[in-house]
Amino acid sequence: MSTAAATGPHRAAARRSLEGLALGDAFGERWFPLFRERRQAYEEIRARRTPEEPDWHWTDDTAMALGLFRVLDRYGEVRQRELAHAFALGHAADPARGYGHGMHDLLPRLCREPDRWPELARELFGGEGSLGNGAAMRVAPLGAWFHADLRRVVEQATRSAEVTHAHPEGIAGAVAVAVAAALSARGRLSVAEVVSLTPDSATRDGLARAAGLPVTTEPWKASDVLGNGQRIRADDTVPFAVWTAARHPDDLVSALWATAEGFGDVDTTCAITGGIVAARTGVDAVPADWLRRREPLPGGGEHR
């Protein structure tokens, strides 16, 4: 499928999700300098005072989501060799976006030999493959793209994850976030339904705990139970981010503030939450100042 053919509700929902993902990523990244003073950071977040920096730059979360969106836009589906090459080119263009150690090892090799993605992805971490949160952090726009067909969401999310995250946990995290984004785009986000479509895994177990956690729970308490991404693993990241998205399914700003209260890998948790919620809401209700401060996306001007 060519770019010209990639039009309609699926692309619009995916672009909304991408805008929200990038906003969450850039918003979350601004909190890291304050985390050395945890009490001060918490007071700033609870008071809903945004970080002072005039420019909010996004990280590898958004860079990789852009690569995935471009492949979907060009082909209408995940083509794994092409996705491997898109990720590699994004890294080569700007390797200082905050990529993890595994991606710094993998992506330059994929740039030279994208056809070898199956073996190269499996070689990471002593041959176990990555169980990190990287496949989950970038995938929400894919879920929004295929939101009309949840079976396709699961299949395409799996294919997108396998290119870099061969471990079952990394794949499960991507499936869960993609399903959550698809449900959000359909206006029926439910943690329990995400659980039902997530492969058997520690990530699924964490989501099951999230499904039983009352929405009245303080986010910082929820992050104690579910994890906040501090270990950079899918099972330590995805349950909390999906829970905060489901807690505020129609309010992107409130969802991001709640996610930030969990601290941890806050750019990634906010990117996941932002991508899920914005698949439904877009970013039009976000304060104009936030959108001005967030680094623009290539092909910008599509806030809707």
What domains, with CATH codes, occur in the chain?
Answer: 7-293 (1.10.4080.10)
Grade residue 32 by pLDDT with cuts at 50, 70 and 90: confident
- Average pLDDT (293-302) is 79
- Average pLDDT (203-208) is 98
The torsion angles phi and psi of 56, rounded to 5 degrees, stand at -105, 105
Phi/psi region, residue 46 (left: phi>0; alpha: psi -120 to 50; beta: rest), is alpha
**What is the model's pLDDT at position 36?**
61
Q: How far is CA 264 from CA 60, 193, 224, 231, in A?
A: 17, 26, 10, 8
**What is the model's pLDDT at position 304?**
38
- Average pLDDT (150-163) is 98
Q: How far is CA 209 from CA 38, 173, 186, 201, 215, in A?
A: 26, 15, 24, 13, 12
Q: Are 68 and 83 in contact (CB under 8 A)?
A: yes
Residue 2, pLDDT above cutoff 60: no
Using CA atoms, how far apart are residues 203 and 190, in angstroms rounded to an integer?
16
Residues 94-136 have pLDDT tens digits of 999 999 999 999 999 999 999 999 999 999 998 999 999 999 9
Long-range CB pairs of 108-114, under 8 A, 24+ apart, other chains included: 110/84, 110/85, 111/85, 114/81, 114/82, 114/84, 114/85, 114/88
Grade residue 39 by pLDDT with cuts at 50, 70 and 90: confident
Residue 4, pLDDT above cutoff 50: no
Residue 145: what residue type?
Answer: W
CA dihedral for 37, 28, 205, 243, sign (positive or negative): positive
Grade residue 7 by pLDDT with cuts at 50, 70 and 90: low
- Arithmetic mean of pLDDT over the chain: 93
**What is the model's pLDDT at position 35?**
64
Listed residue (245, 240, 252) closest to 285, CA to CA: 252
pTM exceeding the 0.85 threshold for the entire prediction? yes
Q: Are 203 and 173 in contact (CB under 8 A)?
A: yes
Phi/psi region, residue 298 (left: phi>0; alpha: psi -120 to 50; beta: rest), is beta
- Average pLDDT (278-293) is 97
The torsion angles phi and psi of 275, rounded to 5 degrees, stand at -65, -35
Residues 162-194 have pLDDT tens digits of 999 999 999 999 999 999 999 999 999 999 999
User: Reduced to 3 states, what is the DSSP secondary structure of residue 94?
Assistant: coil
33 versus 258: which is more confidently predicted? 258
Using CA atoms, how far apart are residues 241 and 210, in angstroms rounded to an integer?
10
**What is the model's pLDDT at position 301?**
44
**What is the model's pLDDT at position 23?**
98
